[in-house]
Structure 1
């Protein structure tokens, strides 16, 4: 097993911890989840870069890399849906009991993670996986386009902001910082960054899907190659 494949396997091994640690109600566990996610997101780029630049692309790597990406997607969205779920926007309230879990806190309200947002992002990934397989069987390799790469960047920023929020809010609750002006200012900054990244990720998810279908949709209408 070469180095890029070993990095990919390490990402696969980290996925269960990224999924489980946010549910442990301690700041230590949640900062560990954040660090693991950042490492996984960075190595997602570097394993492919190493494979291409060092001529280490293998069939095993082509199989493992998409698997690692899908596992990381599920591993992050499961705790995000459970901890942040609810309406997309909920009014701010001065009552602690009204705080909707770990939804982003912004000046206009709490920004949660409704099921339809997850359905859009995950549904697009599932569709593109099947679409690429169909295209490959008909002799067409569909590479990543610019908007899809930007989508990945926005999505990583969104997830990273959410995971750091799990840690920060837990620490603030334990330390009694939530009533301070400095804490609220930082919470607003993180919430705005996370919410805008989420909007950008969802928008680019739909836009990139439309571009893929516009450029390559004809492959779905083309006859399948005859089997020998």
Structure 2
């Protein structure tokens, strides 16, 4: 196993920790989850760049890399939904965070993570994974397009903001910083960035799916070759 593949395998190995640590109401555990997520997100780019520039692309790498991406996505969305579930915008919540409420704080109210967003994001990834394999069996390679790459960027900012918020609010509650001016300003800034990134990720998730179907949807109308 070469270095890029080892890095990818390590991302898969830490995915369960990234999923479980935010569920522990401890600043230390949630800081560790944030650090692990940022490391995984950075190495997601780095291992691919390393493989391409050093001619280390392998069949194993082609198998592990998308698996690592899907594992990391599930490992972050599940705890985020558990800790932030609620209406997309709760104007009755006010702008001061309360104990146990880990939704983003915005000037308009609390921004939650509704189930439909989780279904849209994970459903799109599942569909594209199956669709790529379907196209490959028909001799067509579906490469990543620009909006899909931007979708990943917005998704990383969204998840990073959420994990940073889990740590920051847990620490603020322990240290009695909630309601004080510096922390209140951070709450709003983080909530605005996280909320906008979430909307951007969802919009690009749907838009990139539309572009893929417009470009390659004809494959779905092709007759399936008979088994021999």
Give me the TM-score of the superposition, normalised by structure 1.
0.96
SS in 1 for 2:105: strand
Q: Does 2:108 match 1:115? A: no
Could you tell me which residue of structure 1 aligns to residue 42 of structure 2? 42
Aligned partners of 1:226, 1:55: CA distance in 2, in Å? 38
Could you tell me which residue of structure 1 aligns to residue 166 of structure 2? 166
What are the superposed Cα offsets for residues 67-108 of structure 1, whole Å, 9 maximum, x if unpaired?
A: 1111101100111000000111112338876x6720000010
Gaps of 5+ in 2: none
Structure 1 residue 225: deviation in Å? 4.0
Structure 1 residue 63: deviation in Å? 1.1
Deviates more, 1:175-184 or 1:110-119: 175-184
* Aligned positions of 1:144-183 closer than 5 A: 144-183=144-183
SS in 2 for 1:139: coil
Q: Does 2:36 match 1:55? A: no
SS in 2 for 1:57: coil
Could you tell me which residue of structure 1 aligns to residue 129 of structure 2? 129
* Aligned positions of 1:1-228 closer than 5 A: 1-91=1-91, 92-93=93-94, 101-228=101-228
What are the superposed Cα offsets for residues 39-80 of structure 1, whole Å, 9 maximum, x if unpaired?
A: 101111111111112111111111111111111011001110
Count of aligned pairs between the two proteins = 227
Distance 1:120 1:96, change over 3 A: closer
Structure 1 residue 224: deviation in Å? 3.1
Aligned partners of 2:25, 2:39: CA distance in 1, in Å? 22
Aligned partners of 2:192, 2:97: CA distance in 1, in Å? 20
Gaps of 5+ in 1: none
